[in-house]
Structure 1
Amino acid sequence: MNETRERRRAVPSTPATPDYRVGFGRAEISTFEPGMSMWGWGREDNVPRGVGEPLYARAMFVEGRDDGSALAYVCADLGMIAAGLRVAVLDCLADEHSALGLDPASVVLTATHTHSGPSGFSHALFYDLAGPGFSQRVFDDLVRGIVRSILDAHRRLVPARLALGVGDVPREPPIAFNRSLDAYRQNAEVRGDVSAADAVDRAMTLLVAKDEDGVAVGAISFFALHGTTVHGDQDLLHSDHKGLAATAFERWARESAGAAEDFVAIFAQGAGGDVTPNSRPHRRRGFAIGPSDDDHESARFVAEAEVETARRIFVGDLRPLGGPMVCGLRHVDMEERPVASSFVAGRRGVTTTEARLGLAMVEGTSEGPGPLWKLRAVDRLVHRLVHRLSHRQAPLGTGDPKIPFLSVGPGRRKRLLGRVDPLARRLGFIRHPIFQHVRRIEDRGVSVDRPPWIPTVLPVQLVHLGSFVLVALPNEPTTMAGARLRRSLEKELPGAHVQVQGYSNAYSGYVTTPEEYALQRYEGAYTLFGMHTLAAFEEVLVGLAQAMSSPGFGPHDEPGPPLPTCTREELAARAPV
């Protein structure tokens, strides 16, 4: 899928006067709790023994020239941004650094989605099960590091111009593939028998900041590609290809492109929920790997391909970007949320579902097989039967094909398969570390029922930098889900260059199209709120875009219900053994 030409035309041309003050900074966040697994692969043996490649939080700070507006954008070498982590960062900024002029709407926290970063920093129990446990040390280290990166960027503020460029990451060398091709092919937009290499968004967007002398001070690359070249059988913290690309581009820009000595590059994500760098099955290791048998070499190979495209854009036709900066934020309860008929083909009475994982999630993916991977043929046969039955019972296609595996919303007790209490005495024979961890929490006198196991109140954010519009989502949109959101917002905001970015401000699994969801592959089973999840997010985003375009919009308004967090007592009960 290639819409780069259309997006290039959307890049605005504006006078080259400095509308902003811009600074870039970074801080190292290489931290982990000894004995706890890394976050991403869900493997209890994926325990770090040290640092292979350092992890960083890289930040851009922007101030409007005349209106006092401010923006802090941070991309961290982490698997995701936990909602509780965001809340703690915002609290620190408000309590200790209020002079920066930031509020929740003007702080974007996002992750590179490396699968070789620390675990133990989420208030959501489900995301601490792999560790297992919550580490106060890791949590505090990450809060401090993210705040330091923002302060470093603010310290380097200079009058600057922003410019935007777009280019394709070429098919050769091959680095990006759709890992759920059969689901992608279900989409109405897909024509013919597309390949895995063609079923991705190859467009890279590059945002560049240059001071009044034309010296580059920083850049952000947006490109959708999972941070999974380094697999779960490794034992070192690693920033994966995004972190390596940032470091390599920084070196090139300083040494060969006349950039500032403190130039910072950020290689961020897009809508990459179904996009992988791994396409080669490895029989001995049992999963798909990247271009090299050595994961670290694969990470370098993929990073270099991203850097090469970013270089080409950087020295090419960058178009000036100017105009007001406006930030908008909404907190949305996504469980059983009504969806307007205009977003679901005119149907009335449509809602999202309660938050639950589907059984197909336990299959995993070709690059990260789960417990049911070898039984996926049987699992998929069962899903086909359920899908047919659901359509017979709901002839208008309103039936949900998901086979519930785990309910993850707040206040649930019978979470397993919709019927079973995971702490029931009859399951006491199960000695798996996850079951033992959950039982240990309750043995410490703390219930695991009150807070959601995965957040259900979620932040949805839009940032306008002139005609550049960043969509920050708390999940992993698939390629086509991202494309539909982008087209919807471009229709609402004519002339805008819209960049959809997942892994931002919280984490709640995936967002698939209804067609992809119906097939119930890994991404569909991990789309928590049902078939109409995408439509619900689209409605929120369009409403926010309309509000931000109105004269009376107040970015400091209360965004909605608070993000879910845990008490100190609840977190203490989840401390690792």
Structure 2
Amino acid sequence: MMGYANSEQIASGVHFRLRARAFIVAEPQGNRVAFVNLDACMASQIVTIKVLERLKARYGDLYTEKNVAISGIHTHAGPGGYLQYVTYIVTSLGFVRQSFDVLVDGIEQAIMQAHQSLRPGSVSVNKGDLLDAGVNRSPSSYLNNPAAERSKYKYNVDKEMTLLKFVDSKLGPIGSFNWFATHGTSMSRTNSLISGDNKGAAARFMEDWFQSGQKIPRRVSTIVSDLRQNHSRLLDIAASYKSSRGQSLDAKVRVRKASFVSAFCQSNCGDVSPNVLGTFCIDTGLPCDFNHSTCNGKNELCYGRGPGYPDEFESTRIIGERQFKMAVGLFNKATEKLQGKIGYQHAYVDFSNLEVTVPKAGGGSDTVKTCPAAMGFGFAAGTTDGPGAFDFKQGDDKGNAFWRLVRNVLTTPGPDQIQCQKPKPILLDTGEMKTPYDWAVSGSILCFM
């Protein structure tokens, strides 16, 4: 599975189905843009390339890399093996064709449905703060920012949700897409069920809400029924099925043509955790060390707790429900219509070789250059949503002689790379590792709509 970099996290079933949801906004004889929200950890360059190839074969130059954006909800309970860089497929033991094909098929189908259902209408926007669906999982790191910068913001994470409401001129509301920052880590690193996590849950809640007459129940129904209550019945049903004779299965994509499409998209979720109750040591129950997120020096004992603790399914439901209810409020009060022309900008940027002008404290400026990617020792400690292993600690700016020896077996960073990455000590020099092929991306695609 993709997200926690845990090789022991192997999928064994489905919590609830993943979706690709798309909207297209077009001028009658002018520009158009397509945006896809994908229930996966992230988008993938190779997936995007394949989707664009299929769209070109189907629609010509109507949809290209310039006006199509694909975004992942950052669930850590989705399939792995669909990216083309070694770093991201090590724990899935390489490229997984089945994961790749299903994602490409689903995205293509979502864009096709959006294209076929284009009709005259309007788009409205609304914004508001959601306070109880995300916390900063590295608050001590945030305090290292200058006080003058921190004073500009009310919170140490972005609490704002932005929602677009799509209205058909004849049929009325047909969908909404919103952006809010919180990690897809309500489901833990030991979970083995494919899941859209809290954002996937929120999307399902809102689509069901619209279909059921737009009445919010006092408690949104759980996605998975009470397993303890139904355990015996489920076992009886499972036992009643006869085994097949080993017939091969073909990958299928289930396409659901909903009258209302709601997507809960990811925004600047960097260190925003849905485990809002705080971080605690699993051996003592005491709070973790504030600066290093450790318990008696061990990072693997420190975990964040979601609002449904100790039930991760309940935490997923609660955080999803909070986003859903916020979105409903914004949806019902969205009256500001978007006006103007449709536009987009697209660029390929090599972030490993950029010149950056840095102002100097006493006046003037320096010009410095970026360098290839590298992972530090602190990275290996993981986060409080999913701790790493061994003796790594968050915020480590010294490193360890033993792990440097291990690193050098793969590749030894040169003096320029070490100097550029300071004060971060390099654990894996991924940007310069090319065997058997690239370990990390050097350039990124920027798309503005």
TM bracket (short chain): 0.7 to 0.9
Aligned CA-pair RMSD: 2.8
Aligned 1:69-88 pairs, distance under 5 A: 69-88=31-50
1:290 matched residue in structure 2: 306
Contact kept, 8 Å, 1:163 with 1:207, in 2: the verdict is: yes
In the alignment, the residues of structure 2 paired with residue 41 and residue 341 of structure 1 have an alpha-carbon distance, to the nearest angstrom, of 34
1:245 matched residue in structure 2: 202
Kindly, what percent of the aligned residue pairs are identical? 28
Are 2:156 and 1:202 aligned?
A: no
1:334 matched residue in structure 2: 351
1:302 matched residue in structure 2: 319
Q: Indicate which of 428, 434, 439 corresponds to 1:406.
A: 428
Contact kept, 8 Å, 1:280 with 1:291, in 2: the verdict is: no
Letter in 2 for 1:78: A
* Structure 1 residues 206 and 235: alpha-carbon distance in aligned structure 2, compared to 1, 3 A threshold: same
Letter in 1 for 2:393: R
Q: State the Cα distance separating 1:175 from its structure 2 match.
A: 2.5
* Structure 1 residues 182 and 190: alpha-carbon distance in aligned structure 2, compared to 1, 3 A threshold: farther
SS in 2 for 1:115: coil
Are 2:135 and 1:177 aligned?
A: yes
Contact kept, 8 Å, 1:218 with 1:264, in 2: the verdict is: yes
In the alignment, the residues of structure 2 paired with residue 319 and residue 342 of structure 1 have an alpha-carbon distance, to the nearest angstrom, of 39
In the alignment, the residues of structure 2 paired with residue 245 and residue 272 of structure 1 have an alpha-carbon distance, to the nearest angstrom, of 16
1:465-520: per-residue Cα shift (whole Å, max 9, x none)?
xxxxxxxxxxxxxxxxxxxxxxxxxxxxxxxxxxxxxxxxxxxxxxxxxxxxxxxx
1:203-225: per-residue Cα shift (whole Å, max 9, x none)?
10000110114711111111000
Contact kept, 8 Å, 2:397 with 2:425, in 1: the verdict is: no
Letter in 2 for 1:187: N
Which stretch shifts more, 118-127 or 281-290? 281-290
Q: Indicate which of 374, 378, 384 corresponds to 1:360.
A: 378
- List 4+ stretches of structure 1 deviating above 6 A: 342-345
In the alignment, the residues of structure 2 paired with residue 276 and residue 229 of structure 1 have an alpha-carbon distance, to the nearest angstrom, of 8
In the alignment, the residues of structure 2 paired with residue 453 and residue 97 of structure 1 have an alpha-carbon distance, to the nearest angstrom, of 34
SS in 1 for 2:94: coil
Aligned 1:22-421 pairs, distance under 5 A: 38-67=1-30, 69-98=31-60, 101-170=62-131, 174-188=132-146, 189-190=148-149, 198-213=155-170, 215-257=172-214, 262-278=259-275, 279-281=278-280, 283=282, 286=301, 287-292=303-308, 293-340=310-357, 346-372=364-390, 375-376=392-393, 380=396, 382=398, 400-409=422-431, 412=433
In the alignment, the residues of structure 2 paired with residue 317 and residue 399 of structure 1 have an alpha-carbon distance, to the nearest angstrom, of 45
In the alignment, the residues of structure 2 paired with residue 325 and residue 298 of structure 1 have an alpha-carbon distance, to the nearest angstrom, of 39
In the alignment, the residues of structure 2 paired with residue 308 and residue 122 of structure 1 have an alpha-carbon distance, to the nearest angstrom, of 34
Contact kept, 8 Å, 1:74 with 1:110, in 2: the verdict is: yes
1:39-67: per-residue Cα shift (whole Å, max 9, x none)?
01111111111111111111111211332
In the alignment, the residues of structure 2 paired with residue 282 and residue 89 of structure 1 have an alpha-carbon distance, to the nearest angstrom, of 44
Q: State the Cα distance separating 1:93 from its structure 2 match.
A: 1.2
Contact kept, 8 Å, 2:374 with 2:421, in 1: the verdict is: no
Contact kept, 8 Å, 1:282 with 1:289, in 2: the verdict is: no
Letter in 2 for 1:183: S
1:99-141: per-residue Cα shift (whole Å, max 9, x none)?
7x11211000000000000001111111000111111222122
SS in 2 for 1:72: strand
Letter in 2 for 1:323: G
Q: State the Cα distance separating 1:399 from its structure 2 match.
A: 7.6
Contact kept, 8 Å, 2:81 with 2:96, in 1: the verdict is: yes
Contact kept, 8 Å, 1:280 with 1:290, in 2: the verdict is: no
Letter in 2 for 1:163: S
In the alignment, the residues of structure 2 paired with residue 154 and residue 338 of structure 1 have an alpha-carbon distance, to the nearest angstrom, of 40
Letter in 2 for 1:56: R
Q: State the Cα distance separating 1:340 from its structure 2 match.
A: 4.1
Contact kept, 8 Å, 2:187 with 2:313, in 1: the verdict is: yes
SS in 2 for 1:265: strand
In the alignment, the residues of structure 2 paired with residue 281 and residue 96 of structure 1 have an alpha-carbon distance, to the nearest angstrom, of 52
SS in 1 for 2:75: coil
TM-score normalised to structure 1 length: 0.60
In the alignment, the residues of structure 1 paired with residue 431 and residue 262 of structure 2 have an alpha-carbon distance, to the nearest angstrom, of 37
Contact kept, 8 Å, 1:58 with 1:264, in 2: the verdict is: yes
Contact kept, 8 Å, 2:26 with 2:32, in 1: the verdict is: yes
* Structure 1 residues 71 and 168: alpha-carbon distance in aligned structure 2, compared to 1, 3 A threshold: same
Contact kept, 8 Å, 1:111 with 1:268, in 2: the verdict is: yes
* Structure 1 residues 229 and 346: alpha-carbon distance in aligned structure 2, compared to 1, 3 A threshold: farther
In the alignment, the residues of structure 1 paired with residue 442 and residue 420 of structure 2 have an alpha-carbon distance, to the nearest angstrom, of 22
In the alignment, the residues of structure 2 paired with residue 88 and residue 398 of structure 1 have an alpha-carbon distance, to the nearest angstrom, of 35
* Structure 1 residues 154 and 381: alpha-carbon distance in aligned structure 2, compared to 1, 3 A threshold: closer
In the alignment, the residues of structure 2 paired with residue 403 and residue 75 of structure 1 have an alpha-carbon distance, to the nearest angstrom, of 35
Aligned residues: 369
In the alignment, the residues of structure 2 paired with residue 216 and residue 44 of structure 1 have an alpha-carbon distance, to the nearest angstrom, of 43
* Structure 1 residues 207 and 317: alpha-carbon distance in aligned structure 2, compared to 1, 3 A threshold: closer
1:515-544: per-residue Cα shift (whole Å, max 9, x none)?
xxxxxxxxxxxxxxxxxxxxxxxxxxxxxx
In the alignment, the residues of structure 1 paired with residue 326 and residue 89 of structure 2 have an alpha-carbon distance, to the nearest angstrom, of 36
Contact kept, 8 Å, 2:51 with 2:107, in 1: the verdict is: yes
In the alignment, the residues of structure 2 paired with residue 331 and residue 281 of structure 1 have an alpha-carbon distance, to the nearest angstrom, of 42
SS in 2 for 1:132: coil
Are 2:440 and 1:454 aligned?
A: yes
Gap runs ≥5 in structure 2: 216-256, 284-299, 400-418
Q: State the Cα distance separating 1:460 from its structure 2 match.
A: 0.9
In the alignment, the residues of structure 2 paired with residue 96 and residue 162 of structure 1 have an alpha-carbon distance, to the nearest angstrom, of 27
In the alignment, the residues of structure 2 paired with residue 230 and residue 138 of structure 1 have an alpha-carbon distance, to the nearest angstrom, of 20
Aligned 1:484-563 pairs, distance under 5 A: none
In the alignment, the residues of structure 1 paired with residue 82 and residue 420 of structure 2 have an alpha-carbon distance, to the nearest angstrom, of 37
Q: State the Cα distance separating 1:317 from its structure 2 match.
A: 4.4
Gap runs ≥5 in structure 1: 1-37, 384-396, 414-446, 464-577
In the alignment, the residues of structure 2 paired with residue 40 and residue 321 of structure 1 have an alpha-carbon distance, to the nearest angstrom, of 35
